Structure 1
Amino acid sequence: MKELIMKDRPFGARAEAPIPRAPWTKGITSVETVGSEATDAIYFRSLERQGIRLNESQIEAVRHGDGPLLTIAGAGSGKTSVLVSRTGYLITVRKVAPRNILLVTFTSKAAAEMKSRIARLPGLTPRTAGEVQARTFHAFFLMILKHHGYTQRLLSESRIQQIMMKRILRELGLQASFEPETVLALLSSYKMKCVSLDELPEDTFEERDVKAAMLRYEAWKKETHQMDFDDVLVFAHELLQSNKSLLLSLQRRFHYVMADEFQDTNHLQYVLLRMIVAGNRNLMVVGDDDQTIYTFNGAQHTFILNFHLEYPETKTITLDINYRSNANIVGLGNAVIVHNVERKAKTLKVSGEQHQAWDGDEFTPQYIRPGGTDEEAEQIAGHIQQQVTSEHWNYRDIAILHRTASSSRAMFEQLVLSEMPFVQYGAGSFFYDQWLVKPVMDHLRLALNPRDMQAIESAVAGLYIPRENGAAYILREDKKKPKKYPLIHLQDWPDLKSYQKDSIKERIRLIKSLKAMKPIYAIQEIRRQFYEKYVEVHDVHKWTQHKETLTETLDELEAAAKRFDTVEEFITFVDTMAAKHAEMTELMHDKNADAITLMTIHRSKGLEFPCVYVIGASEGILPHSSALQADQMEEIGQEPKKSGSLRMRKRSSEGERGAAGVKSTSGSSRVAVEAKPAAGAGREDAGAAKVNAALEEERRLAYVAVTRAQEELYISSPAHYRGKKADVSRFFAAAFGADDAQRQRRTAPPARAIAVRAGGARIAATSGAAMRRVHAWLCMDAGCPAWMRISPSEAADSAASKACPLCGKPMERGERSVPARD
């Protein structure tokens, strides 16, 4: 392992570039500003006795009476103390009945903390505090539904939703085309935008198919008398629209409404809030537009930016003193986020008392430039071990934050090899079990054991044969007459097409050859011979995975395999990692475990750690390469267009809501549709606007990562990422004076992708390339990948169908996306 070199500036930054440091302000609190002559002095003295000393801006927010209030709460600025203290102030000073106060937030944990802290406020009894409605959005509106005759069971487990959607897709014959999680994500997005399923277009096969799946899922819930979390808000909205007396009673009851984490609010949640406060307009919202990182869940930072337009009489208060971190960490956060244009201008400060505490500490954020992600993992693991061995930190004090699920693979494995306790959050399923990776791994397993029946299922699907039916046939036939390579039984499958028989023989030959290869070459051969073609052309998971993310994940698999000489060594290593993953899952339930936290940046929001390592701070990772190609994508969740195909892809966002689903706090899946460019010069302007918006969200992610650290912050920027040179992230370079506009023109190399013409001829494409729609003949057989362009002579012909040259089944007229240059 190379020697770990740390610098106090990003690699490449000028030596004379100043180190960002937050300004400081005198630590003036209620002790000095609320004199004994003030009518509310007793309340603030009682808070002080509990250790709650509010600064001037916080006091102003607590004292606010009627009318809308926008409270911009910077990172670590004590927003929870403000919300809790204002609740107590309304009750004890303004004599507001506790039952007339509604406080909504986003997580059960946050709601429980609010209730607990309100109950400890001076002058409040537990019973009085219990009358305050401090709940999550869903808990509050579910309570209303239950009180008004809604008896449906709450479908709270995403796993059950995914199983049911998977079954529906199978019944409709769409299991090979659509991923259950992402159809559910699309459905959720439409609901939160108040778009009715009846309004969805049906102009293409894809639109009709996905709409049919959604409608059947909704029918299943109705038949089984269930509702999911989205339904809670949708039904509440419908109820309040239809039951005016109920809405009026809520408006009369809740004189004061407060909304926490307002930057995470989606459209429907905001609509419901506006309905409840429509009478008195006493709405206090608390949030930070600089921490809006959940747009894949429908959150919009514009709700904060435009709040004054909705409520012109709004009073705005900014909480700009950070009590979490030292001045150098806060200063770096300021220097990162200041380059965003669409934001409320603010500069976080540290208090005088805090400034004095840190003034003698020379620690500044440290920057690392390892050669690649595996070297990065080795160096950071070694440094952490030194920190713990020297008793500088315990494992539980340390967090490692990463941008995407796949970018944590090397770190995960190194922590396992170093035998350090850790828990990973927000990265979804085990890397080698992810849907895109597992079929490749299963082919490697078949190379070692061709009779591995579980692995055979993946091979069956890759042959354009229904996975379950084909695997069941092999198992049934192999019981009658066992074969060394059970895949050969498919040669006799009655439903087999002629062109598939040759594919079976080729697949068996490939599997036989893999064992003698180095694993990285074996993976490359699997990709080259069939896998990328299968995923891209046969539309497997096409509604789930953006081409760029597909390539990124498979490239990461190659990076993992390159250290091993044999397939057997690699499989043994993966099995060891799988066992550790299971062990880690158990450790996750132990709240007192002394373990490192390995977490996506999305999942870390709202948390803080004494020591933070931010890995992957390089171009193409943070900012993610999908942001650089955002001009090719159009966000969903808006009202659907009446024409044009909704070609959905999952943009890598957290990683993965990493894979944990749209509603998870990890966030990771970003759903988008291919954008049809506008005509003329407007197309370039719109594309640039999308790239800028995507980059601003990526910069907010970097800001959130930085501001999780309290005392020590280490930022690592690998010099190479999956075999390509990677510059230091523009976000950190710009914090030290680099020309951000110039750096934005230097994008990561476009991701590799494969397109296939009818007959299987491969052509190169790039995930960032402009696409256009062409008229094409599409084979109607679900197992056949063939398509071909409609020639000019055929376009004039009225023939509605023709025979497929590959399988002989009918082909019908449709459309196909191809690179614009094709």
Structure 2
Amino acid sequence: MVASTPHETVTRQDQLLAGLDPEQLAAVRAPRGPVCVLAGAGTGKTRTITHRIANLVRTGHVAAGQVLAVTFTARAAGELRTRLRGLGVEGAQARTFHAAALRQLRYFWPRVVGDQQWELLDGKMRLVSQAAHRAGMDVESDGLRDLASEIEWAKAALIGPDDYPSAAARAHRQIAEPGVRVASVYRHYERLKTEARQLDFDDLLLHTAAALEEHGAVAEEFRDRYRCFVVDEYQDITPLQQRVLDAWLGERDDLTVVGDANQTIYSFAGASTRPLLEFSRRFPSATVVRLERDYRSTPQVVGLANKVIAGSRDRPAGSRLNLVGQRPDGPQPRFAEFDDESAEAVAVAGRIRELLDGGTPVSEIAVLFRVNAQSEVYEQALSEMDIPYLVRGGERFFTRPEVRQAMMALRAAEPADGELVERVRALLEPIGYIPEPPQGGAARQRWESLRALVELAEEFAASTEGGAATELPRFAGELEQRAQAQHPPQLDGVTLASLHAAKGLEWDAVFCVGLVEGTLPIQYALGDGAPAGSLDEERRLLYVGVTRAREHLWLSWALSRAPGGRPRRCSRFVYPLLPEQHPASRAAAGTRPQRTGGSAARPRCRVCDSALTGTLAIKLGRCADCPAQLDEELLARLKEWRMARATELRVPSFVVFTDATLIAIAEQRPTDSRALVSISGIGATKLERFGAEVLSLIRGER
């Protein structure tokens, strides 16, 4: 290997630091030792910490293999590894707390325990059920989940069974069973687990900390191996995770933490902002850097986000980050009020169709809600408009049969010369990969999975250097790492996700829906018995949702769950955000706008003038029972034309026009562009691309 010259080293260093803003640069170039980066949403925190690690390695302060970076999700850990590899840093560890602890515990177990390693539990529900039975409790599945959550909270907070009742009372835990009964289940659960020689995920952290605290030789070997620590999303750390981090550090202070107290949304699971906000008190010599330049969102979105969080009643000084948008101006956020949830979902799906027609990729749109039960009405509305969607938290990508087959084929392939991406395509062809997508159904879904693997190969090839013969085994290894870390590739479809699940993600267009009292803020955050700070945490959830949007932002609510249902109020967090001219803004002053006016107005039937309900009725412009004159010959011509255009454009037929849109055209027979664009599903983009052809077909021309 030829050593780099001093000039080449300087050039690489300049390239590494190029493009960083002054605050990012200060964090990257800070010397070894304690560093706290207070990073607002969209301010480039991942870029900052990965460049800091690369800078420390390149300047010789630490070897790559001596770095341990930890975060809270497998996806975030995978992103750190990908970014570090792109910066040429090989060997640095980037893992979740639990994954890092599992690796260490497996290594040190023979010296600490001395016998066969205990089995790791896949899930605790079976043992919790047995523990509840031993405690004399007959509990349904929902109750068992609640008990499991309480055990997880207690262990994360370093609370044992004996101390649980008093600790739960102090924390105002919302539990159906008395604290002493939960403690009894907790005690039996721990005994059953020990008898079976099993560990749960919290035990990984507890035993790792104990191994380092109680065995000097183990601690010395570990601390000789790892010299530099980085913790992402530090505002989400639990007392148990902090104990592990302290055990890793020992008496050292080579620690970089990054966090944003405004995005603390896991207090219910034991997370605490105290270590972040008190970092400089613990380490008086710490470098503290504030990142407030928002590169993700337009100034309009950033301004609204600042308004959301400014309403918090209790904002510690260290959390007062005021984001400053760096992007060009974009559209103003939209606010919409509807009669019921069905009308809200139909309107959201209609706006999504407009965005798709305007060129926004389907994978760059998300619908976010407070609880998962809100997803169903949006799944139905999107399905009726033929808009693909993905429910975050659904089927795992790497468990799909075609993905498992593909990974087996890649692992089994012999090393050979040739470009990586072409080899991957060739190996996936027998499994079902073809250059052009199938029309739809299961074949289309299978193809989408395989295409995602090809796109990962393209990204991998672009970010690595190496011989062609070694690229395929390295790529197969990268897929294995992603599978273990549950870090799937991006698939096409509108994302449906809870606000909690959206943390760490971003999209061009975000719809925050169902913003009503009792849902956001959630009912148990209201009232005198609510846990301290729970209302502010609900506000932070909305802040997280708003800051996921790059350009288009929509906030909406429905005045009842179903037509004629019990009335509801818009969320208290939304009223201060409304423009003065918005009809709903009058409700803040005590005057409720007419439910049939403003943004809640429904489209009306062109035959009987009744308000329309349901996506199909709105698309057709008439009630399902109202008579209509369908031109069968025109419909046949339209379908024939659509098939030809879809083949020409290499897209599925519904991307040109859905069946419902073609039926509406064949019923209404519009004679000019204005009449054509009034049909639901035909926006400006489709009018420009297909309008002249459709009008010719209506006139009987070919």
TM-score range, shorter chain: 0.5 to 0.7
Q: Quote how far apart the aligned CAs of 1:729 are.
A: 2.5
3-state DSSP class of the match of 1:148?
A: helix
Aligned with 2:315 (options 342, 360, 363)? 342
2-structure distance, mates of 1:238, 1:199: 20
3-state DSSP class of the match of 2:497?
A: strand
2-structure distance, mates of 1:384, 1:191: 43
* Paired position in structure 2 for 1:420: 387
TM-score normalised to the size of structure 2? Answer: 0.62
CA pair 295-743 structure 1, distance change in 2 beyond 3 A: farther
Q: Quote how far apart the aligned CAs of 1:330 are.
A: 1.2
3-state DSSP class of the match of 2:338?
A: coil
1-structure distance, mates of 2:589, 2:201: 42
1:284 counterpart letter in structure 2 = T
CA pair 137-176 structure 1, distance change in 2 beyond 3 A: closer
Q: Quote how far apart the aligned CAs of 1:173 are.
A: 4.4
Cα deviation code 1:635-669 (max 9, x no counterpart): xxxxxxxxxxxxxxxxxxxxxxxxxxxxxxxxxxx
* Paired position in structure 2 for 1:97: 63
* Paired position in structure 2 for 1:371: 339
1:77 aligns with 2:49: no
1:392 aligns with 2:392: no
CA pair 700-167 structure 1, distance change in 2 beyond 3 A: same
Aligned with 2:569 (options 727, 747, 752)? 727
Contact 1:100 1:256 in 2 (8 A): yes
3-state DSSP class of the match of 2:109?
A: coil
Compare relative contact order (CA 8 Å, sep 6+) and give the higher one, 1 or 2: 1
CA pair 394-221 structure 1, distance change in 2 beyond 3 A: same
Contact 1:719 1:725 in 2 (8 A): yes
2:103 counterpart letter in structure 1 = M
2-structure distance, mates of 1:264, 1:586: 38
Contact 1:152 1:227 in 2 (8 A): no
Unaligned 5+ segments in structure 1 are: 1-36, 429-579, 635-689, 747-822
1:166 aligns with 2:146: no
2-structure distance, mates of 1:585, 1:710: 30
1-structure distance, mates of 2:302, 2:7: 34
* Paired position in structure 1 for 2:543: 703
Contact 2:43 2:292 in 1 (8 A): yes
* Paired position in structure 1 for 2:139: 176
Q: Quote how far apart the aligned CAs of 1:255 are.
A: 2.9
* Paired position in structure 2 for 1:621: 519
Please provide the CA RMSD for this pair: 3.6
1-structure distance, mates of 2:447, 2:238: 33
* Paired position in structure 2 for 1:222: 194
1:714 aligns with 2:551: no
1:188 aligns with 2:152: yes
1-structure distance, mates of 2:24, 2:361: 34
2:351 counterpart letter in structure 1 = H
3-state DSSP class of the match of 2:500?
A: helix
Q: Quote how far apart the aligned CAs of 1:314 are.
A: 2.5
Unaligned 5+ segments in structure 2 are: 1-5, 111-115, 170-175, 396-440, 453-488, 581-585, 591-702
Contact 1:405 1:427 in 2 (8 A): no
Q: Quote how far apart the aligned CAs of 1:319 are.
A: 1.0
CA pair 585-619 structure 1, distance change in 2 beyond 3 A: farther
1:139 aligns with 2:99: yes
* Paired position in structure 2 for 1:245: 217
Q: Quote how far apart the aligned CAs of 1:85 are.
A: 0.8
3-state DSSP class of the match of 2:558?
A: coil
Q: Quote how far apart the aligned CAs of 1:609 are.
A: 0.8
Please identify which structure carries the higher strand content: 1
1:210 counterpart letter in structure 2 = V
* Paired position in structure 2 for 1:595: 493
3-state DSSP class of the match of 2:573?
A: helix
3-state DSSP class of the match of 1:728?
A: coil
Contact 1:43 1:89 in 2 (8 A): no
1-structure distance, mates of 2:152, 2:349: 39
Q: Quote how far apart the aligned CAs of 1:184 are.
A: 1.5
3-state DSSP class of the match of 2:344?
A: helix
* Paired position in structure 2 for 1:666: none
Q: Quote how far apart the aligned CAs of 1:43 are.
A: 4.2
* Paired position in structure 2 for 1:262: 234
For residues 316-465 of structure 1, the aligned pairs below 5 Å read: 316-340=288-312, 341-343=314-316, 344-351=319-326, 354=327, 358-359=328-329, 361=330, 363-388=331-356, 390-426=357-393
3-state DSSP class of the match of 1:112?
A: helix
* Paired position in structure 2 for 1:526: none
Q: Quote how far apart the aligned CAs of 1:56 are.
A: 0.7
1-structure distance, mates of 2:148, 2:446: 25
1:152 aligns with 2:117: yes
2:257 counterpart letter in structure 1 = V
Q: Quote how far apart the aligned CAs of 1:133 are.
A: 2.6
2:362 counterpart letter in structure 1 = Y
Cα deviation code 1:297-337 (max 9, x no counterpart): 21112332222232233321011111111111111111111
Q: Quote how far apart the aligned CAs of 1:162 are.
A: 1.2
Contact 2:67 2:229 in 1 (8 A): yes
CA pair 56-176 structure 1, distance change in 2 beyond 3 A: same
CA pair 41-349 structure 1, distance change in 2 beyond 3 A: farther
1-structure distance, mates of 2:22, 2:232: 20
* Paired position in structure 2 for 1:46: 15
CA pair 713-633 structure 1, distance change in 2 beyond 3 A: closer
1:342 counterpart letter in structure 2 = R
* Paired position in structure 1 for 2:204: 232
CA pair 584-221 structure 1, distance change in 2 beyond 3 A: farther
Q: Quote how far apart the aligned CAs of 1:140 are.
A: 1.6
Q: Quote how far apart the aligned CAs of 1:153 are.
A: 4.5
* Paired position in structure 1 for 2:282: 310
Q: Quote how far apart the aligned CAs of 1:75 are.
A: 0.7
1-structure distance, mates of 2:242, 2:31: 21
Contact 2:575 2:588 in 1 (8 A): no
1-structure distance, mates of 2:24, 2:342: 45
1:164 counterpart letter in structure 2 = L
Contact 1:193 1:267 in 2 (8 A): yes
Please identify which structure carries the higher helix content: 2
* Paired position in structure 2 for 1:765: none
3-state DSSP class of the match of 2:390?
A: strand
1-structure distance, mates of 2:269, 2:589: 29
TM-score normalised to the size of structure 1? Answer: 0.54
1-structure distance, mates of 2:323, 2:210: 42
**Structure 1 stretches of 4+ moved >6 Å:** 37-40, 202-205, 583-590, 742-746
2-structure distance, mates of 1:38, 1:57: 27
Q: Quote how far apart the aligned CAs of 1:200 are.
A: 4.4
Cα deviation code 1:256-281 (max 9, x no counterpart): 21101111111111122123324221
* Paired position in structure 1 for 2:32: 66
Q: Quote how far apart the aligned CAs of 1:213 are.
A: 2.8
CA pair 40-626 structure 1, distance change in 2 beyond 3 A: farther
CA pair 417-330 structure 1, distance change in 2 beyond 3 A: same
1:708 counterpart letter in structure 2 = R
Cα deviation code 1:699-732 (max 9, x no counterpart): 1111110111112111112233563433333323
* Paired position in structure 2 for 1:120: 86
Q: Quote how far apart the aligned CAs of 1:142 are.
A: 1.6
3-state DSSP class of the match of 2:322?
A: coil
Contact 2:119 2:197 in 1 (8 A): no
1:46 counterpart letter in structure 2 = Q
Cα deviation code 1:431-482 (max 9, x no counterpart): xxxxxxxxxxxxxxxxxxxxxxxxxxxxxxxxxxxxxxxxxxxxxxxxxxxx
1-structure distance, mates of 2:119, 2:283: 35
3-state DSSP class of the match of 2:70?
A: strand
1:386 counterpart letter in structure 2 = E
Contact 1:706 1:713 in 2 (8 A): yes
